[in-house]
Structure 1
């Protein structure tokens, strides 16, 4: 586990439960609802995200995880609810302003601009670029120094993510895993306080998965808060300090990774309330494998129905 028992216990005030109060929350959300055609995609009464920790947001497909991400980061608007980031309300704040305040997110499907180079994609992630102003753009002395700083920052990050040899290549030439690395590196160009990763391991080969895991742990080591959506329970157990479980739009469980794997609410969310397997008789590794297999079967069934 990433933390010792003492460090982990310091995350919360009280016993693990949905909506439990955190010792030092960076995000606090209350009464957040988002409906689509009468269906409650998100219906979160109260949740807090602990500062400086790695929190996993898990749940079966259709649980509302990505929609909740979109609401928090200003890419969607709720029907009801309020939330704050770093002590300041950001409900209704546009996505670009949320990013400027230090909350940056990535997407399940990478958003690299394919016909720009890797370096150009990185430069786009930086804030405070005087050259974006038309009048200032006509005076190179006003923006050249900042551009050099941005380029140096980009070079450092590309080297850190082992993409420096790809700096001049089109983003379209990168593999799926390399695009994930590029998106994470670009998100760091703005020096965020918190980074939100939507299924960062999806479609990534095992070698790059380990690289991404190390990078996420490095983010925490620098004091950054990480919230990520993930289906792979082995990944969750390996790097998460805290786990939040969603099902049918609601928060049904919260806890430390080892506790969540054996939580009855989590078992019901993944397997249904009527199932024959007693997870209490399985090891943590076996529990994770069963939840992974169940999620994979759900996804295969959805693909068959779509076809």
Structure 2
């Protein structure tokens, strides 16, 4: 009788979005972003020092951490708005280091800003049109020949109107963007991002400065992005929001990734509380970080 020579295969431990234990830098089943050794310093301050991190495709990932943790700087590096001292990263299998921001956007990675970047002296509709990519009329020669770009312009207008209606900004279509409230500008920036049909949407504190009346609307739209097949990565301080809409949470402190996991597990992780307390265990915390710690404790109590 011949012996069985079939090799023994040890199954890889896979849980939902990740492979193996949920530790900092854990591998993901289908990562859309992979970053290695990304480091950014400002003088003697190390703002970002990420050894390895992966962002899962098709999920909503929250990037949280205390003030000064390096979250927005990391966003800027990934999207080409800043240059690192070291490191490599890729988006959808394509390297992004040394790729300028406008090319990153054309590749399907779109980000919004904590302070909205709408052009106040343009109408809401014109702001939306700016988000469409591959516009024939942007070419100097073709711009003087309307028959080359008129049809595309009409299609862009139709798409913009559909998005404005979805975000309940259609009544503001002809208003100047400067006349919008802070929350409406957040909605406009998110709607404009969708004009380019992105694969990954990165939102930097989407709830900052938003009237509570618009909070639920923004939450619904973020969940809607996932339903449409997009990946979402967002920076946020509202822990209740993080727990209710995030599929995965990455915690940064002092530029490093210190914890990862699903929202319920991360909220109960003592390392996360430590990240917010930092070196201030025996001193007064800032008002914002104190609020974050109290919210975390409340969420832990809720889970129990």
**What's the offset of the Cα at 1:264?**
1.7
Matched, 1:244 2:211: no
Q: Which residue of 2 aligns with 1:28?
A: 34
Root mean square deviation of aligned Cα: 1.8
**8 Å contact from structure 2 (residues 276, 293) kept in 1:** no
- CA distance, structure 1, for counterparts of residue 266 and residue 211 of structure 2: 26
**What's the offset of the Cα at 1:38?**
1.9
Matched, 1:63 2:98: no
Q: Which moved more, 1:203-212 or 1:74-83?
A: 203-212
**8 Å contact from structure 1 (residues 233, 288) kept in 2:** no
Q: 1:201 aligns with which of 202, 207, 223?
A: 207
Q: Which residue of 1 aligns with 2:79?
A: 73
Q: With structure 1 as the length reference, what TM-score do the two structures score?
A: 0.87
Q: Residue 18 of structure 2: SS of its match in structure 1?
A: coil
Q: Which residue of 1 aligns with 2:160?
A: 154
- CA distance, structure 2, for counterparts of residue 291 and residue 264 of structure 1: 10
- CA distance, structure 1, for counterparts of residue 95 and residue 298 of structure 2: 36
Q: Which residue of 2 aligns with 1:121?
A: 127
Unaligned ranges ≥5, structure 2: 1-13, 283-291, 300-304
**8 Å contact from structure 1 (residues 268, 274) kept in 2:** no
Deviation readout 1:192-214 (Å, 9 max, x if unpaired): 00000000000111121100000
Q: Could you list the runs of 4 or more consecutive aligned residues of structure 1 that deviate by over 4 angstroms after TM superposition?
A: 273-276, 290-293
**8 Å contact from structure 2 (residues 277, 293) kept in 1:** no
Unaligned ranges ≥5, structure 1: 1-7, 277-285, 294-307
Aligned counterparts, 1:125-274, within 5 A: 125-272=131-278
- CA distance, structure 2, for counterparts of residue 259 and residue 267 of structure 1: 12
Q: Which moved more, 1:196-205 or 1:256-265?
A: 256-265
Equivalenced residues, count = 277
**What's the offset of the Cα at 1:272?**
3.1
**8 Å contact from structure 2 (residues 33, 55) kept in 1:** yes
Deviation readout 1:155-201 (Å, 9 max, x if unpaired): 00000000000000000110000000000000000000000000000
Matched, 1:92 2:92: no
Larger radius of gyration: 2
